[in-house]
Amino acid sequence: MASSQTFKLTYSTMFNPPDELHVRFDDALLQVKASLGREQAMMIGGKDVLAEEKFENRSPADTDLVLGIFQKGTARDAQHAISAARQAFPGWSRTPWQKRVELLRKAAEIMDRRTFEMGVVVALEVGKNRMESLGDVAETADLIRYACDRMETNNGFLTEMGRDPLVGYTSTNTSVLRPYGVWVVISPFNFPCALSGGPVGAALVTGNTVVMKPATDTPWTSRLIAECLREAGLPDGVFNYITGPGSSLGQALIDNQEIDGITFTGSFDVGMQIFRDFGHGKYIRPTILELGGKNAAIVSRHANLEDAAIGITRSAFGLQGQKCSACSRVLIEAPVYDRLVSRLIELTQKMTIGDPTERSVYLGPVVNKAGYRDYQRFSADLAESGQVLTGGKVLTEDQYAKGYFCAPTLVELPLDHHLWQEEMFLPITTLACVGTLHQAMQIANDVNYGLTGGFYGAADEVDWFFENIEAGVTYANRPQGAPTGAWPGFQPFGGWKGSGSTGKNAGGVHYLQLYMHEQIRTRVTRG
């Protein structure tokens, strides 16, 4: 990605990048802006496909800026994509896994070469700051490579089992993991690269064929992923990309009986509806759901308060709080409450808000008008029920006039308020003072979600935190952000309770197997 051999971009390292990274981002920004407003096709059966109806993709930072014209796909387009994937499945599934690995690694290399172009598109389309945008792309390539590595490490998931003790016969048993068939990936707006390309890579390398539908707010990033896969040489129909509303196009995919498995990342309510609808098929089909979070950071009286303050604000307000791992609740032991809150306010007020493509900006806009209105509604409720310490207002003047800009918000809120339980998906974090760590843990776990959890405290308190927190991803004393952060092979990401359906984390050692089912082969010969 960068010529520097010592710098590897991850969500841990992105806070101190070399200057070259910014130079290359600025160059890519000029190139991408020259291509704004172009029509982008769907990709079905290896061909670019146009629909009768179109929709505009506009920048949330400047709603006058049309990023591109995209296709409003229909149920018919969904069926064409499924049929193309179905036709391609026999050939792709029988392709040696080594060849599939080769092609997917090539796709990851192409993404590496296009990191800055794709990062700019993410920033323009989502509103992520430039480093978070580049991190999204870099993680995608690493997710694909990690899936390839897991296939290689496990020898294509072919395992010799024990031999039957049959006298006069030789009986061998082999376990083989095989692809299901046609897989659907429905991805969210907030990580339009990683949460599209990651599941797509896992599905493809295991031998499934794929139909991908991105969020309506972020069709461009997914189009670039499709181009990388096509350039890598995947056979026609192995991967298909369609765009359009979730209520019609997405539902047509979910309701189709020819789909063999589905991966969805998004809200709890939508995910549960998908689970119910997809369960109406002829038989049970795998459903991989990564849903919301209501993530707490617990701060002990023994914590390094500076690390806690930096980690909490980064987690709470990165991507404007629009991530399922955002720190939306902070529970602080009484002896350090005032000091930490004072520092949290100070750091929050220093955050630069503006055009996410600018180097100095940390917070961009929220992604759309619906989120913008939700922020105003929540802020009014919080101002009436609690004490807003900073933020609580939209920004509408000068550079903010044409975008969906919201001030990062910290609020002291009674623990019986409903917003301690509900995911807001916005730059809003609630604070509370607690008497003991045990009280904090009880509050942290008393939600329907179990995605991430963070802790700041003494070394001898950390094991207690890990043993008691009900979450799939946990962090202790992490200044880079808690409870936020993921990277394939380092911090696999997934949730418990209402935050996930499989109990296995993406980017981890157990994830790839979710895209395959097991076949036992018993071979008997005389003698």
Nearest to 190 by CA among 123, 141, 249, 257: 123
433 flagged as catalytic: no
Q: What is the side-by-side strand order in the sheet with 516-526?
A: 158-160, 169-179, 516-526
C-beta separation of 179 from 257 below 8 A = no
Measured between alpha carbons, how far is 496 from 493 in angstroms, rounded to an integer?
Answer: 11
Task: Indicate which residue of 148, 193, 228, 324 is catalytic.
Answer: 324
Beta-strand relationship, 239-241 and 209-213: parallel
Measured between alpha carbons, how far is 349 from 143 in angstroms, rounded to an integer?
Answer: 35
Would you call 478 exposed, middle or buried from its count of C-beta atoms within 10 A (0-12, 13-18, 19+)? Answer: buried
φ/ψ (deg, to 5) at 165 = -85, 65
Measured between alpha carbons, how far is 470 from 483 in angstroms, rounded to an integer?
Answer: 13
State the sign of the Cα–Cα–Cα–Cα dihedral 236, 511, 324, 313.
negative
Measured between alpha carbons, how far is 405 from 63 in angstroms, rounded to an integer?
Answer: 11
Nearest to 20 by CA among 115, 137, 105, 125: 115
CB neighbourhood size of 519 (10 A) = 10
Task: Indicate which residue of 132, 227, 290, 423 is catalytic.
Answer: 290
State the sign of the Cα–Cα–Cα–Cα dihedral 87, 93, 94, 99.
positive
**Residue whose tokens read 């794709």:** 118
DSSP labels, 267-324: -HHHHHHHHHHHTTSSS---EEEE----EEEEE-TTS-HHHHHHHHHHHHHGGGG-ST
Phi/psi region, residue 314 (left: phi>0; alpha: psi -120 to 50; beta: rest), is alpha
324 flagged as catalytic: yes
- Residue 72 Cα to chain centre, angstroms: 24
Q: Which pair of structure tokens corresponds to residue 506? A: 């993406």
List residues with catalytic annotation: 290, 324
